[in-house]
Structure 1
Amino acid sequence: MKVLRLLAQGMTEKAIAGQVGVSIATVGRHVNTIRDALGVEGLFAIGVVAAQRGLLD
């Protein structure tokens, strides 16, 4: 959920990796999993759909 929240704040995968303390590849895998779970394509859409579904509360 932390990666999802940081994405919704507009952070890049590189910035998230630095903040969370994991590799960029690990963040990328999380992003792909989140995209698949939400059924969206882009990073912006992740934040929009997550907010609409109340996942950022």
Structure 2
Amino acid sequence: MSSSKIEQRALSLINAFERSGRMVSRVTIDGGKIELVLSTEPTGDEFERVDMRYDKT
């Protein structure tokens, strides 16, 4: 199997997981084996701790 086929397959797996809402944190390709590690951290609001009030300071 050529390395570009394995890489293309890994990319398609990453896209499939991310379309389903799962985030991939790491990909390892070892020969013909593809290992995906999914992110376990909840993706929160990036502005959660920012005070967004618009009034007197």
Q: TM-score range by the shorter chain?
A: 0.3 to 0.5
Q: Of the two, which has the highest radius of gyration?
A: 2
The one of the two structures with greater contact order (alpha-carbon pairs below 8 A, sep at least 6) is: 1
How high is the TM-score relative to the length of structure 2? 0.37
Higher strand fraction: Structure 1 or Structure 2? 2
Q: TM-score, normalised by structure 1?
A: 0.37
